[in-house]
Amino acid sequence: MYHVCLTFDFDAYSPWIARRLTNYTNLSRGEFASIGVKRILRLLRDHNIEATFFVPGHTAEHFPEEVGLIKDHGHEVAHHGYIHEPPETLGGPEEERRVIVKGIEALKKTANIVPKGYRSPSWALTKYTLSILEEHGMIYDSSLMGNDYTPYRPPLYLEVDSEGRVVRGPLSRLVEIPVHWSLDDYPHFEYVRFQSYVLHGLYSVSDVLENWILSFEYMVNNMDEGVIVYTFHPEVVGRGHTMIFLERLISHIKSHAKKYRISFSKMIDVANKYREKLGIV
């Protein structure tokens, strides 16, 4: 069986606040995520696909209607920080713990959701993050890049000692469902002027679609089974040309379904399957 996970990070206002780029126009870019979510929900319903939305607590508080819609459509809602704080930018384990708890409480309060999975804002874990996730009942993480098509049990941390040697922590009880920037819409399609650099983005959808299809085809042609995770943001993929990109990606993957067993799956379902395979009880 091959699992295709379509994942949507419903960041909305939060990354602009985390990056201190809060002019009116940037905040309106965050607001557009609401339009994007509704388009995505329609497309997923038309294709009868289940997906996972990673939602910062701040987004849940500002867009409770949209988060309720995501839930009502049968999709998974998972944890994505409180206000899109990359863990590496926080002041240590206590602050990381406080942010994880705040994110959980916001999802619970606004939509009665208890998240079981986590994706770090900006994919930037620290040596503490996975332990804190275990403490708070998470069963999977989706922030690391140590494999591609095969979920795995990650060490609790990798760190570099004073001699430059890499030290691996003991195995975590989480399932890691790996990701990669090459399968993320943000660097390919978004244009952002940061204080010290410009993210150019704005690639042709045809070029990116070819890369994303090739990644899928490598999996079905070379692996006996596997999981491919695509990462989207409603404020990015929700525009006209990128919605057509998403639709073409789905159609192409579906065209392989006659030959291969393919399931568009929620991350939680993949995590539960691999928990068993990895012997995590």
For residue 167, the minimal CB distance to Zn ion (Å) is: 29
Cβ closest to Zn ion, residue 121 vs residue 151: 121
Between 9 and 185, CB nearer to Zn ion: 9
* Count of beta carbons in the 10 Å neighbourhood of residue 52: 27
Distance (Å, whole) CA 6 – CA 40: 11
Q: Closest CB to Zn ion among 86 and 226?
A: 86
Applying CB under 5 A, which residues contact Zn ion?
9, 11, 121
Are the beta carbons of 145 and 180 closer than 8 angstroms? yes
In whole angstroms, how close is the CB of 155 to Zn ion at the nearest point?
24
Closest distance to Zn ion from the beta carbon of 80 (Å): 6
Positive or negative torsion for Cα 48, 52, 55, 60: positive
Least distance to Zn ion, CB of residue 14, Å = 7
DSSP at 245: H
**Least gap, CB of 97 to Zn ion (angstroms):** 20
Q: Which is nearer to Zn ion, 75 or 275 (CB)?
A: 75
- The residue with its CB nearest to Zn ion is 9
Nearest 5°: phi and psi at 81?
Answer: 80, 180
Helix (H/G/I), strand (E/B), else coil: 246: helix
Of 17 and 262, nearer to Zn ion (C-beta) is: 17
For residue 199, the tally of other CB atoms under 10 A from its CB is 12
Residue linked to tokens 């660097």: 187
CA distance 113 to 104: 8
